[in-house]
């Protein structure tokens, strides 16, 4: 198993499937390299599973569901308690692999794992989260109560940018509710995900309760259309997320699809200047801009326009290097293809007339000349018709727009089709209250640049960034992964009770 992979390892391992508690070598003929984006070193090869293998994983989930659904809630919860302890214990080891395959810094890789660990901690509260409701005497001697029952085999499809956090958004909450699960990790960086899956088995997740298949469109489509899959959680691009939502929906499944974004940070001139500029630069360029909640648009309001030179100077100071090197601020992009795409969008910004304040295109990193690096790039004079504004760039590119008033800023943000996250920087409580009330975006930060909610709340991106009603983690995901059954009951004290025949719909 590739969990022992270390940077510098020369043997290229084959990533396994997990079916019915067994690590399985795929029989596929289609493989893809997992590549270190800073060095191009091939770390492992990942299979694109065959349709028989996908069927076998779902069948294992279906068999395991028969007993897992009735496993006492305390037993499920104790597995999560063990899993959280194991993740904590192995976090640093996993972070090294995550950084090597994904490119982010070691500190950020640890953050990726930690934000997922928080969801596992939340799963340990399932005893109170999965409780039903009870009303006594809804009619004479009649009580009504609800059961929150698991729904069956669920599946999760995850993106490359958070190979620890996002799988941990999904399988712990799904299985702790009594479901079984088939996970399809990103084929670009599945190694750290597999280490977490290995820990889940060590924590006591029984055979067939958690299964893993690898692959691309074919595997995803098979999951979305299989009769025995009851729910699909997807996180990834808008294009694929819309396809998954439609396909799985046509096949009668519950679907939650978290997709692309364009997150605006609105800066009022009364904001704490230093803290705000730090926040913009950290959230704009951290993880090389490859976060769905990255700040990708800065809206400078009124006199905050004058802060542009300072913003530029701060961004120019960031250190671009491999994620494994100490002191790195901005690591490489995930692939050469991703880099080409970002460079193309920067070109489009120049052609469409934006001012390139800071140009990260020709960055060179000694010792890592083959890395997919793009340095911090800053555009001013951006208008809403330019591609650098209309498209999710998913790279270290921050675009700056200017408006005169808070009302104009709110209207600008609300006109953008995405609704994942936004932020307001101000010292005015009244402005903040107006913003949180009028802004049409699902997650709002007030002087907080990346307002990803902690797991006792839910992730609530909205509009073009999400399809489906219920978000990951928090109370919403318990609703997503369970079916409410409502029981209305009456018991008789003795055989002499006789209310007569009731031909109406009323309870008496």
Q: Footprint of ligand NAD on this chain (CB under 6 A)?
A: 157-162, 184, 186-187, 216-217, 220, 235-237, 240, 243, 258-261, 292, 392, 394, 420, 461, 465
| Strands 31-35 vs 42-47: parallel, antiparallel or unpaired | antiparallel
Q: What strands lie across the sheet with 31-35, from one edge to the other? A: 13-14, 42-47, 31-35
Q: Which SS3 state, helix, strand or coil, does residue 58 take?
A: helix
Q: What are phi and psi of 416, to 5 degrees?
A: -70, 135
Q: Which two tokens stand for residue 239?
A: 């294009």
- How distant, in Å, are the alpha carbons of 60, 138, 205, 333, 367 from that of 229? 12, 36, 19, 34, 47
CB nearer to ligand NAD: give 220 or 410: 220
CB nearer to ligand NAD: give 367 or 417: 417
Min dist CB 291 to ligand NAD, Å, is 7
CB nearer to ligand NAD: give 380 or 460: 460
Min dist CB 319 to ligand NAD, Å, is 24
Count, residues in the chain: 508
The H or E element spanning position 462 is strand 462-463
With beta carbons less than 8 A apart as the criterion, state whether 287 and 102 touch.
Answer: no
Q: Which SS3 state, helix, strand or coil, does residue 368 take?
A: coil
Q: Which residue has the tokens 């055989």?
A: 495
With beta carbons less than 8 A apart as the criterion, state whether 166 and 201 touch.
Answer: no
What does the DSSP 8-state code read for residue 330?
Answer: B
CB nearer to ligand NAD: give 161 or 377: 161
Handedness of CA 457, 459, 462, 468 (dihedral sign): negative
Q: Please tell me the distance from the alpha carbon of residue 47 to that of residue 34, in angstroms, as a whole number.
A: 10
CB nearer to ligand NAD: give 290 or 324: 290
Q: Which SS3 state, helix, strand or coil, does residue 311 take?
A: helix
Min dist CB 192 to ligand NAD, Å, is 14
With beta carbons less than 8 A apart as the criterion, state whether 95 and 117 touch.
Answer: no
CB nearer to ligand NAD: give 349 or 472: 472
Helices and strands (H, E) in the chain, number of each type? 15, 23
Q: Please tell me the distance from the alpha carbon of residue 207 to that of residue 21, in angstroms, as a whole number.
A: 4
Nearest residue to ligand NAD by CB is: 236
CB nearer to ligand NAD: give 150 or 163: 163
CB nearer to ligand NAD: give 77 or 165: 165
Min dist CB 125 to ligand NAD, Å, is 22
With beta carbons less than 8 A apart as the criterion, state whether 208 and 63 touch.
Answer: yes
Min dist CB 244 to ligand NAD, Å, is 6
With beta carbons less than 8 A apart as the criterion, state whether 116 and 164 touch.
Answer: yes
Min dist CB 268 to ligand NAD, Å, is 26
Q: Is 154 part of the annotated catalytic residue set?
A: no
Smallest CA-to-CA distance from 238 within 414, 398, 467 is with 467
Q: Please tell me the distance from the alpha carbon of residue 232 to that of residue 62, in angstroms, as a whole number.
A: 15
CB nearer to ligand NAD: give 159 or 449: 159
Min dist CB 435 to ligand NAD, Å, is 21
Min dist CB 119 to ligand NAD, Å, is 13
Distance of CA 223 to the CA centre of its chain: 19
Q: Which residues pair with 118 in a beta bridge?
A: none
- Catalytic entry in 124, 154, 177, 292: 292
Q: Please tell me the distance from the alpha carbon of residue 45 to that of residue 160, in angstroms, as a whole number.
A: 15
Q: What spatial distance separates the first Cα and last Cα of the chain, rounded to whole Å?
A: 63
Min dist CB 261 to ligand NAD, Å, is 5
| Positions marked active-site | 292
């Amino acid at each position: 198993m590739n969990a022992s992979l270390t940077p510098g390892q020369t043997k290229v391992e084959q990533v396994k499937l997990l079916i019915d508690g067994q690590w399985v070598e795929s029989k596929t003929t289609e493989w893809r390299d997992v590549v270190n984006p800073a060095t191009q070193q091939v770390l492992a090869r990942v299979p694109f599973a065959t349709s028989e293998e996908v069927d076998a994983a779902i069948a294992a989930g279906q068999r395991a569901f028969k007993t897992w659904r009735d496993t006492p809630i305390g037993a499920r919860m104790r597995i999560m308690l063990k899993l959280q302890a194991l993740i904590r214990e192995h976090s640093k080891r996993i972070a090294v692999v995550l950084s090597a395959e994904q490119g982010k810094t070691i500190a950020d890789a640890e953050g990726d794992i930690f934000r997922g660990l928080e969801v596992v901690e939340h799963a340990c509260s399932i005893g109170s989260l999965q409780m039903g409701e009870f009303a006594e005497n809804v009619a004479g001697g009649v009580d009504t109560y609800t059961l929150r029952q698991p729904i069956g085999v669920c599946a999760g499809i995850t993106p490359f940018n958070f190979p620890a956090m996002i799988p941990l958004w999904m399988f712990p909450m799904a299985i702790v509710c009594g479901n079984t699960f088939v996970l399809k990790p990103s084929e670009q960086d599945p190694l750290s995900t597999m280490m977490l899956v290995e820990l889940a088995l060590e924590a006591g997740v029984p055979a067939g309760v958690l299964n893993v298949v690898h692959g691309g469109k074919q595997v995803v489509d098979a999951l979305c259309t299989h009769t025995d899959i009851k729910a699909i959680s997807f996180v990834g691009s808008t294009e694929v997320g819309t396809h998954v939502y439609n396909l799985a929906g046509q096949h009668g499944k519950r679907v939650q699809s978290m997709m692309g974004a364009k997150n605006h940070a609105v800066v009022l001139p009364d904001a704490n200047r230093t803290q705000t500029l730090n926040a913009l630069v950290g959230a704009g360029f951290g993880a090389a801009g490859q976060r769905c909640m990255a700040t990708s648009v800065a809206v400078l309001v009124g006199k905050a326009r004058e802060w542009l030179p300072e913003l530029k100077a701060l961004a120019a100071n960031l250190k671009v290097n491999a994620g494994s090197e100490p002191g790195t601020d901005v690591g490489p992009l995930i692939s050469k293809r991703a880099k080409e795409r970002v460079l193309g969008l920067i070109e489009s910004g120049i052609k469409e007339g934006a001012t390139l304040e800071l140009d990260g295109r020709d960055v060179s990193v000694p010792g890592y000349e083959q890395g997919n690096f793009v340095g911090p790039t800053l555009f001013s004079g951006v208008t809403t018709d330019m591609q650098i504004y209309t498209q999710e760039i998913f790279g270290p590119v921050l675009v700056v727009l200017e408006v005169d008033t808070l009302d104009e800023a709110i209207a600008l943000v609300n006109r953008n089709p995405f609704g994942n996250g936004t932020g307001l920087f101000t010292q005015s409580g009244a402005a903040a209250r107006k913003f949180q009330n009028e802004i049409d975006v699902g997650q709002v930060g007030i002087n907080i640049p990346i307002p990803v909610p902690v797991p006792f709340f839910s992730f609530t991106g909205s509009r073009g960034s999400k399809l489906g009603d219920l978000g990951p983690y928090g109370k919403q995901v318990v609703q997503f992964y369970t079916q409410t059954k409502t029981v209305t009951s009456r018991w008789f004290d003795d055989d002499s009770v006789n209310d007569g025949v009731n031909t109406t719909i009323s309870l008496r």
